[in-house]
Amino acid sequence: MKHILIGGLEVSCLGLGAMSMSGFYDIGAGSDEESTRTIHRALELGVTHIDTAEIYGPYINEELVGRAIKGRRDQVVIATKFGFVSHAGGGPGVIDSSPANIRIAVEGSLKRLGTDYIDLYYQHRVDRNTPIEDTVGTLAQLIKEGKIKHIGLSEAGVDTIRRAHAVHPITALQTEYSLWTRDPEAELLPLLRELGIGFVPYSPLGHGFLTGQIKSPEDLADNDWRKTNPRFIGENFQRNLRIVEEVKAVADQLGATTAQIALAWLLAQGNDIAPIPGTRRVARVEENIASESIELSSEQLKRLNNLTPASGERHSEAGMAAIDR
């Protein structure tokens, strides 16, 4: 698989998001064994970039990734995130990027991942109670100590990125970006390119919606996190299905799957963009990785660029409130 540089860090152009291996989404059977096989298959097919976070599970996703990469550490760029668990008392779900919290978080992540360094350590959400300069200052110290190699931000806005980058070079921004979430194109991508920061699109398959495999809200279990996402609810769901039909039309022209077109479109957006589609199934990781070889014509790219915008915000009200803009 092709390798690219994101802010100076070399990664495979497609990575693997591990979040859905430990909850959040719930369609069909999943197991740690199948998730582990999925990670191994991804590595075999040339993926080097695996994305997890302290909050996934919480904790058990990092443990799963740690077990899966045991003996293969050198093959992997491990990306994980802190700041969505407040160890001082608030616990999981509480935003906290204070220096003291980062110090506790990093030791836990290193232990669970079974490694003595993290390649890319992201702040998961901007903490309005801690100046970003303090957070990045602490991360810069962790680089000096050899505990992390690179610093990332997730869902940070332009001002925060500039302030952070002034303290220490930021390697990557991780933010939602896909055929139905085009917001980063307006301000974020130009800024990242100006500063030489790479971009890691999360939820590149629209949490699975853009694959065409979720056909009705009833396909989602009651405890599926997507049941709280406005795009998966009521009339929005039906309207958004039309977007998927358009993507499928392009897929049919190329004998590809809808998921593959969603990924091929992202890969066509630049050599500084490294999407991390998530799956816990071997067959799907194979399918997703094969999108690397799909060439979209200028006509097809134009059609995809002009899709009807998605109906509904990309996160719930609480989720949107946590996003730095």
Ligand X SMILES: NC(=O)c1ccc[n+]([C@@H]2O[C@H](COP(=O)([O-])OP(=O)(O)OC[C@H]3O[C@@H](n4cnc5c(N)ncnc54)[C@H](OP(=O)(O)O)[C@@H]3O)[C@@H](O)[C@H]2O)c1
Query: Which residues, at least 6 apart from 247, have a Cβ–Cβ distance to it below 8 Å?
Result: 179, 210, 212, 258, 261, 262, 304, 307
The residue among 72, 150, 63, 76 whose CA lies nearest residue 114 is 63
Closest approach of ligand X to the CB of residue 211, in Å: 3
Q: Token pair for residue 313?
A: 């915000």
Contact assessment for residue 267 and residue 273, using Cβ atoms and an 8 Å cutoff:
yes
Closest approach of ligand X to the CB of residue 144, in Å: 25
* Distance of alpha carbon 180 from alpha carbon 178, whole angstroms: 5
Establish if 206 lies at the interface with ligand X (CB under 6 A).
Answer: yes
Q: Of 26 and 246, which CB lies nearer to ligand X in the complex structure?
A: 26
Q: Of 245 and 299, which CB lies nearer to ligand X in the complex structure?
A: 245
List the catalytic residues.
56
* Distance of alpha carbon 273 from alpha carbon 285, whole angstroms: 19
Closest approach of ligand X to the CB of residue 298, in Å: 25
Q: Of 11 and 19, which CB lies nearer to ligand X in the complex structure?
A: 19
Closest approach of ligand X to the CB of residue 214, in Å: 8
By CB under 6 A, the residues from 71 to 130 that bind ligand X are: none
Establish if 20 lies at the interface with ligand X (CB under 6 A).
Answer: yes
Q: Which stretch binds ligand X (CB under 6 A): 94-102, 161-169, 188-196, 207-215?
A: 207-215
Strand, helix or coil for residue 118: strand
Distances (CA, A) of 198 to 5, 15, 29, 268: 7, 14, 34, 15
Query: Rule CB under 6 A: which residues touch ligand X?
Result: 17-20, 25, 27-28, 30, 51, 154-155, 174, 202-208, 211, 213, 259, 276-281, 284, 287-288
